[in-house]
Structure 1
Amino acid sequence: MIAKLDSANDAVAKQIYTIFQRSYTIEAQLIGSLNFPPLSRTVNNIKNSTTVFYGYFAEECLAGVIELAITSKQLEINSLTVGPDHFRKGIADKLIDYVLNSFVAPTNITTAVVETAVLNGPAIKLYKKHGFVEFKRWMPDHGIEKLAMLAENLN
């Protein structure tokens, strides 16, 4: 089941934080980073975020989280994480399907964007499966090369 998460709620923010920490620790290892910026997010950062969070629940347990910023024309996926106990169960795929079907089809949103590390092959493969294509690469100050991916003409 997928549901909107009340990230302003302390207990919910702590659940999101736990999923982020567990998942991003593995991603940091995958890309060979000792200083991975998503790991520096705090519970308070999540509680005070202006983004929207949706969670995938497996047997009443939060198994995955997708974080979105939505404007009138664009959907931004700010984070997509799955708890390591739930890897390879199609949860990230279901979360992407959910947001594309829920926020794109019934609205005027025509594009979706996401950023990830160039070395994050599994994420790039997942986004390509959903029609995203690379449109930009750059090296931020933190030293992890990133790429941005775009899905257009979604309506």
Structure 2
Amino acid sequence: MIAQLTHSNSDIASHIYAVFQASYKIEAALIGTNNFPPLSRTPQDIASSNSLFYGFYKGDSLAGVIEITYQDNLLEIDSLTVAPEHFRKGIAGKLMEYVLNAFDFSKATVETAVVNAPSIRLYQKHDFNEFKRFTPSHGIEKVALALDLSS
């Protein structure tokens, strides 16, 4: 089941944080870094975020989270994480399909590490195309992908 999460609630923010921490630790290892900015987010950062959060539940367990911003027909996927015990069960794809169908957008964008092949494959499966590579100040080379429906 997918539901919008009331991330301003401290208990829900803590559940989101737990999924983020577990998933991002694995992504940091994949990238080969100890300095992975998403791992520095706190439950308080999540609770005070202006983003929208949607969760995929397996029973009572929060198995995956997608964080988005939506403004002026632009959908930005800010994070997409799945709890490691639920990897390779199609949860990330279901969360992607949910937000892509739930919002009326002309363009959707997402960024991930260049070496994060599983994420890039997922986005490409949903018709996202690479439009930029860059290296922010933290030093992890990133790729930006977009799904442009305006043309």
Q: Which residue of 1 aligns with 2:143?
A: 147
* TM-score, normalised with respect to structure 2: 0.98
**Partners in 2 of 1:22 and 1:73 — Cα distance?**
32
**Partners in 2 of 1:43 and 1:95 — Cα distance?**
21
Deviation at 1:63, TM superposition (A): 0.2
Unpaired segments ≥5 residues, structure 1: none
1:14-53 equivalences under 5 Å are 14-53=14-53
| RMSD (Å) for aligned C-alpha atoms | 1.1
Runs (4+) of structure 1 exceeding 4 A deviation are none
**Partners in 2 of 1:6 and 1:102 — Cα distance?**
17
Opposite residue 75 of structure 1, the aligned amino acid is L
1:1-80 equivalences under 5 Å are 1-80=1-80
Opposite residue 124 of structure 1, the aligned amino acid is I
Deviation at 1:60, TM superposition (A): 1.7
* TM-score, normalised with respect to structure 1: 0.95
Opposite residue 5 of structure 2, the aligned amino acid is L
**Partners in 2 of 1:118 and 1:38 — Cα distance?**
16
Q: Secondary structure at the match of 2:120?
A: helix
Structure 1 residue 123 corresponds to structure 2 residue 119: yes
Per-residue CA shift, 1:54-99, capped at 9, x if unaligned? 0000012100000000012210000000000100000000000000
**Partners in 2 of 1:25 and 1:137 — Cα distance?**
23
Q: Which residue of 1 aligns with 2:110?
A: 114
Q: Secondary structure at the match of 2:15?
A: helix
Q: How many residues align?
A: 151
**Partners in 2 of 1:126 and 1:154 — Cα distance?**
21
Identity of aligned residues (%): 56
Q: Which residue of 1 aligns with 2:101?
A: 101
Opposite residue 125 of structure 1, the aligned amino acid is R
Opposite residue 149 of structure 1, the aligned amino acid is L
Unpaired segments ≥5 residues, structure 2: none
Opposite residue 126 of structure 2, the aligned amino acid is H
Per-residue CA shift, 1:29-68, capped at 9, x if unaligned? 0111110000000011000000000000001210000000
Deviation at 1:154, TM superposition (A): 6.8
